[in-house]
Amino acid sequence: MHAGVRLARIITLLILVIIVPLSVASVGSRYMGDRVYLLNNTSCRVVVMEEHDGHAANPGEEVLIKPGFVDRTPTMMIVTDSAVWFGGLRFAVSTLQVRDQADIQIPPSLLGTLIGGRTLTYELTTDGQLLVKGPPMHSSMAQPQGLPLKARTTPNPNECKRG
């Protein structure tokens, strides 16, 4: 009986020490800290790929690409079924690093603020540009120097349709 109780205590302790903090960090990073989103305003389904994972964004959908507890993303690329549109991207809230280019500094006025941190949304436009989408009250602000980025290949409207 005592061995069973000890084993149960050990398992409970392991759950409390390992699994609970990992779960809290995973869920919490979606709602706290500095987060970066991608809004797909193209007619194509795009995938934001990183070294070990990817985030699919259907037309009109906004996806989280940098959770709150991560300083910056690993090198990412944005692809469709037929082409690589952007590559060598590293997202952070205050900068966008693009391979073989100077870092693009994001002004604080384009960041959204919430109780748990700051947010930034990048937008993929119908003509294949990547730009910063400012908060609603600042939507007419100029893009930071270095943006918009133009996709390597122009999206073909006949290739993928909404719906």
What's residue 163's pLDDT? 45
Torsion, Cα of 63, 126, 120, 111 (10° steps): -150
Strands 76-79 and 62-66: unpaired
pLDDT score recorded for residue 62: 94
- pLDDT given for residue 105 in this prediction: 93
Q: pTM value?
A: 0.78
Residues 32-64: pLDDT tens digits? 778 899 999 988 899 999 877 888 999 999 999
pLDDT of residue 39: 95
pLDDT-flagged residues of the chain (< 50): 162-163
